[in-house]
Amino acid sequence: MTYGDGVTTADLSTIAAELAVIAEGTDRYRQRVADLGQANLGGKHDDLLAAIHEADRSLRSAQRALLRASRIALLGR
């Protein structure tokens, strides 16, 4: 099936799958960043820890957005 914009069902399935894989990779990176945030820096480098926690939150948000986009692509099939 082709939609008015030329996107086929197969295209949407491929897009959904790619987005899901990217979301999975993003979650793995997020976990690595979160692990770095657990480092015991002896109360020093609060600015570094704050930046790491911000990166963790950003990656978590990116993962949610990617999964949402994947679900939307699947619904559009």
Segment 22-29 mean pLDDT: 98
pLDDT the model gives residue 6? 67
pLDDT band at 8 (very low <50, low <70, confident <90, very high): confident
pLDDT band at 32 (very low <50, low <70, confident <90, very high): very high
Q: Are 8 and 2 in contact (CB under 8 A)?
A: yes
The residues that bridge with 2 in the sheet, in sequence order, are: 8
pLDDT the model gives residue 56? 97
Q: Smallest Cα–Cα separation from 52: which of 27, 66, 40, 34? A: 34
Q: Are 66 and 19 in contact (CB under 8 A)?
A: yes
pTM of the predicted protein model? 0.82
Q: Are 77 and 9 in contact (CB under 8 A)?
A: yes
- Start-to-end Cα distance in the chain: 9
Where do the domains of the chain lie?
Answer: 9-75
